Structure 1
C-alpha cells in the first residue's frame, strides 16, 4: 500500500493552509488533534499485541486514506467495511485484507467481488458474512456464472434475539456451515458476531448477555473445527470499540486448544470521544483507564444571550453528532486580552436545532457574542460524516487535513 506522507493532501480549494493559526478558521469548525490520533493508534496497536489478537479497524469510522495508512503502519491485520462501496474504496487504496462485516446480497456487488477480489491476481483478500440458507443460495447462484478463480471466504455470523443479522439457532447454523464447506465457490473461513448492540444494563463494562454470546461463539467454533469444516486456521471476529476486553477474555488465545485467529473490529478508538467511548471503552476514563485521548474538538462562537441562564451558540445537529449524547462544553478559547478566559463549570448543552445550540449556564453568566467555545463530541462516526475537510492541528496550528470518503 503506497503512503502519502504523514498527513493527507489538501483537498478543497478553500481548505485551511498548513501553518494557519486556529484563529484564522471560519467557525464553526471541527478539528482533529494530530497528537491524540498518533497516541491512540500506538496505544491500541500495543494493546492488541499484548492481548495476542489481531485488529481489523472498522474503516467506516473515518473512511480516510491517511488514517488507513497510519493504522496499516501500526500493524493492522486488515480493515473492516460495512458496505460494498467501502469495500471498493479500501481495495482501491491497496488494502491487503478487507473484512466485510455484513452479508453480501446485492447481485451487482457480488459480481464485482467475483471479478475483482476473487481473481487470481487480486491483491486484496476479502471475507464477508453469511447468516441464512437463502443468503447462501443467492451467493452461489450469482457467483456461478463468473466462475471465480478463488472461492469466497465466508464467516458464519451468529446473532441474538432482537439483534441485527446473524443466526439465532445453532443447529441451523451448523447445517449451514456444512453446506458452505461442501460448496464449490465458497469456503468456510470462520465465525463472526457482534456483542456491542446487546441491551446495556447498569454495568458499563459489559451488556448483560454479551459473555454468553461470546461463549456460544467459542463453542460453535469448537464444533466446526472438530468436524473439519473450516478451511485453514479459523478466523473468529467480534468486538466493536466498547467491549473488546470482554472479547479477548472470552475468545482470546488462552481460550483455545487449536490455532485460531481472533480479530477485533474496533474503529472509533482512533479518535475516541467525550461521550459513548469515554463511558464504554476499556481504555476510556469512565472505565478507570484513560489510555485513549479524545481527538475531536468542535469550536463555535457565542451568538446571543437572549435571557438569563440561556446562551445560543453557532453550531447544531448539522455540525455535531447527537445520536448518542449532546456535545459537552470543554472551555473557552482565550482572547489575547484574556476576556474569554471563562469558567465553564456547570455549562451544559441542552438542545440543538440545525445550526443553533442551546446552553444552560449559571444565572448572571453572560459571555460576550463572539466568544469562542470548545466542545467535545460523542460518537466520532457522525463527525466524520458531517465534515468533508477536517483541519488536523498541533499546538493550535494547522498541519494538514483529513478528508473522509462516504
Structure 2
C-alpha cells in the first residue's frame, strides 16, 4: 500500500491533482484474477476501457490473458500499434470511416468486433476486400443492461446467419455484458442478475448450435460478477475494474460479507489548499479530477483518522473530519481513492506509477480525443 513517505519523497514534485498507481497492488490484482481464471478454466480478455494503457495491457497479457477487449476504435489502434494481440472491439460501430480503420488494422493483426444489426454487418463486409483476411464478428446480445445488443434469440440467430453469409466476415460467437449486475451490492440479487444473463446466453448458444453455427467465443462478464461468470457459459471474461477498484466496487460483498478479493491501487493525489474552517479542509481535486458518476472517494490516505470527501466544484473537494481528529496542514498532500475508476482515468493524461522508492510515468494513451489531437 502506498505510504505517506512516498507522498513526501518521490511524489513531492508532482503537480496536483495527479493520478497515482500503486504498482505492487496493481500487479497483485492482475495475478489474482489470472489465478481465478486458471482455476475456473475460463480465459481472460481484460477490458482496456478501464486503463487505456499499453503498459497495463502488457502486464495483463504477461499474466496469461488471451487478448484485450476495447471499447473504442482508438483503443484498438493504440494496442495494435504496440503489438498487443487478439483484440476485441466490444461496442458496435456505425461510421463507415471506423469500419475502414478496422479493416486496415485487421490486415496486419486479426481482430474481432461486436455488432448488433444487419446494417452494421453489411457495412463491415463492404469495408473488407475479398483478397483480405476475413473480419471476425461476435453478435452483441442484450442480457439485461438495455444498452446495445440483439433483444431476442431469433434476432440473434438471423444476424449470425447474415454474418456467415459474407465471405469477408467470420462468425465467431456471441457477447453479453451484464453491466446492470456488476454494482449490485447485495450478493443474492447480484448473483440472480448474473445468472439471468448467463441463461440468456446459454439459450442463444443452443439455438445457434441447432443451425450449425455453434459459437466459438462466448464473451462478457465483469469484475462484480466474476465469481458467477467463471462457471459458464462464458469462454472468456471481459473484467476491467479489478485492476484498480473504486468506491463503487468497495460496496460489493459476497454471501459471507467479505468484499471483492482485490486491493485499491488507483488514487488521485491532492494538496490541501485551505484550512480556515473547523473540522474540514479544502483540497485541489474536484470534478475535473474525479468522476462524479459514482460514490465519492471512500479511501483516503495521508490523513490521521477517518475523513469523508465531498465535491466542492470543478477544482476543489472538501475533507471533513470528526471532532478531535487532527486535520492535515496547509500544503499537505493526500491520496484519494478513485470514485468511478474508468472515467476518472479519462480525466488525466498520465499515471504516476509508484513502487517502493521509484516512480514511472505511463501515458494514458487512448483518452477520448487523443487521435484528433494527434492528427492536428
**TM-score, reference length from structure 1:** 0.80
Secondary structure in 1 aligned to 2:353?
Answer: strand
1:174 aligns with 157
User: How many angstroms apart in 1 are the aligned matches of 2:291 and 2:72?
Assistant: 21
Query: 1:331-365, CA deviations, whole angstroms, 9 ceiling, x for partnerless residues?
Result: 436xxxxxxxx22x2x2113231111123322465
Shift of 1:280: 3.4
The answer to whether the 8 A contact 1:20-1:398 is kept is no
User: How many angstroms apart in 1 are the aligned matches of 2:19 and 2:219?
Assistant: 33
Is the radius of gyration larger for structure 1 or structure 2? 1
User: How many angstroms apart in 2 are the aligned matches of 1:250 and 1:192?
Assistant: 13
2:112 aligns with 127
Distance 1:287-1:132 versus aligned 2 partners, 3 A rule: farther
The answer to whether the 8 A contact 2:153-2:207 is kept is no
Of 378, 393, 397 in structure 1, the residue corresponding to residue 339 of structure 2 is 378
**TM-score, reference length from structure 2:** 0.86
Shift of 1:174: 1.5
Are 2:30 and 1:26 aligned? no
Unaligned runs of 5+ in 1: 1-18, 253-261, 334-341
1:221 aligns with 205
User: How many angstroms apart in 2 are the aligned matches of 1:162 and 1:192?
Assistant: 13
2:4 aligns with none
Distance 1:319-1:286 versus aligned 2 partners, 3 A rule: farther
User: How many angstroms apart in 1 are the aligned matches of 2:194 and 2:101?
Assistant: 35
Query: 1:277-328, CA deviations, whole angstroms, 9 ceiling, x for partnerless residues?
Result: 223387xx99615531111123323222343333222211112222211113
Shift of 1:181: 2.0
1:279 aligns with 251
Query: 1:97-143, CA deviations, whole angstroms, 9 ceiling, x for partnerless residues?
Result: 111102232212222332331x3xx2x22111121222223333444
Are 2:263 and 1:293 aligned? yes
The answer to whether the 8 A contact 1:159-1:168 is kept is yes
Unaligned runs of 5+ in 2: 1-7, 368-376
Secondary structure in 1 aligned to 2:69?
Answer: strand
Are 2:283 and 1:313 aligned? yes
Moved more, 41-50 or 287-296: 287-296
Distance 1:281-1:102 versus aligned 2 partners, 3 A rule: farther
User: How many angstroms apart in 1 are the aligned matches of 2:182 and 2:238?
Assistant: 19
Shift of 1:61: 1.3
User: How many angstroms apart in 2 are the aligned matches of 1:29 and 1:153?
Assistant: 39
Distance 1:287-1:163 versus aligned 2 partners, 3 A rule: farther
Are 2:48 and 1:59 aligned? yes
Distance 1:53-1:281 versus aligned 2 partners, 3 A rule: farther
1:212 aligns with 196
Moved more, 235-244 or 207-216: 207-216
| 1:341-352 equivalent positions in 2, closer than 5 A | 342-343=304-305, 345=306, 347-352=307-312
Shift of 1:234: 1.0
1:9 aligns with none
Moved more, 102-111 or 48-57: 102-111
The answer to whether the 8 A contact 2:279-2:321 is kept is yes
User: How many angstroms apart in 1 are the aligned matches of 2:261 and 2:145?
Assistant: 33
User: How many angstroms apart in 1 are the aligned matches of 2:252 and 2:202?
Assistant: 23
Distance 1:372-1:139 versus aligned 2 partners, 3 A rule: closer
User: How many angstroms apart in 2 are the aligned matches of 1:392 and 1:190?
Assistant: 37
User: How many angstroms apart in 2 are the aligned matches of 1:147 and 1:59?
Assistant: 30
The CA RMSD measured in Å over matched residues stands at 2.6
2:89 aligns with 100
User: How many angstroms apart in 1 are the aligned matches of 2:145 and 2:194?
Assistant: 13
Shift of 1:51: 0.8
Shift of 1:22: 2.6
Count how many residue pairs are aligned between Structure 1 and Structure 2: 357
User: How many angstroms apart in 1 are the aligned matches of 2:143 and 2:233?
Assistant: 17
2:125 aligns with 140
Which runs of structure 1 show a deviation greater than 6 angstroms over 4 or more consecutive aligned residues?
Answer: none
User: How many angstroms apart in 2 are the aligned matches of 1:400 and 1:286?
Assistant: 38
Are 2:218 and 1:236 aligned? yes
Query: 1:80-102, CA deviations, whole angstroms, 9 ceiling, x for partnerless residues?
Result: 01111111111111122111102
1:251 aligns with 233
The answer to whether the 8 A contact 1:54-1:76 is kept is yes
Distance 1:148-1:78 versus aligned 2 partners, 3 A rule: farther
Secondary structure in 1 aligned to 2:119?
Answer: helix
